[in-house]
Amino acid sequence: MQEYEIGDRSTDNYDFMKEKLGDRPIEGLIVHTAGFDDENGVFRILDVWESRDHADRFMERVMAIAPGPEALPRPETAVPPTRETHYELHDVAKG
């Protein structure tokens, strides 16, 4: 899970990286969510992975294609997350 303080509500940088990653399936990813939590004042990304190893390999891929902040559509909003954590799930229910 990653959380970023809500700034101007632009998703340009997120959308840019999503486009760079493409539409091909991501090995080990069960579900990806991203959205604004106005009550807590954050944009939150929450992913569920088959394993921590899958998540780590994906982040390596992201970092390999991530441009420097100056190359993003909105470099002024390219900040590290204010909160980032990993935890092992006890249960996952699918609808």
* DSSP reduced 3-state for 27: coil
pTM over 0.85: yes
Contacting residues for 58 by C-beta, under 8 A, at least 6 apart = 26, 27, 28, 29, 49
**CATH T-level assignment (fold) for domain 2-84:** Alpha-Beta Plaits (3.30.70)
Distances (CA, A) of 66 to 10, 35, 50, 89: 18, 20, 23, 28
Task: Classify burial at 17, counting beta carbons within 10 Å of its beta carbon; exposed 0-12, middle 13-18, buried 19 or more.
Answer: middle
Q: What is the pLDDT of residue 48?
A: 97
Q: What is the pLDDT of residue 67?
A: 83
Q: Where are the domains of the chain?
A: 2-84
Task: Tell me the mean pLDDT in the region 66-83.
Answer: 90
Cβ neighbour number for residue 86 with a 10 Å cutoff: 10
Task: Tell me the mean pLDDT in the region 30-56.
Answer: 97
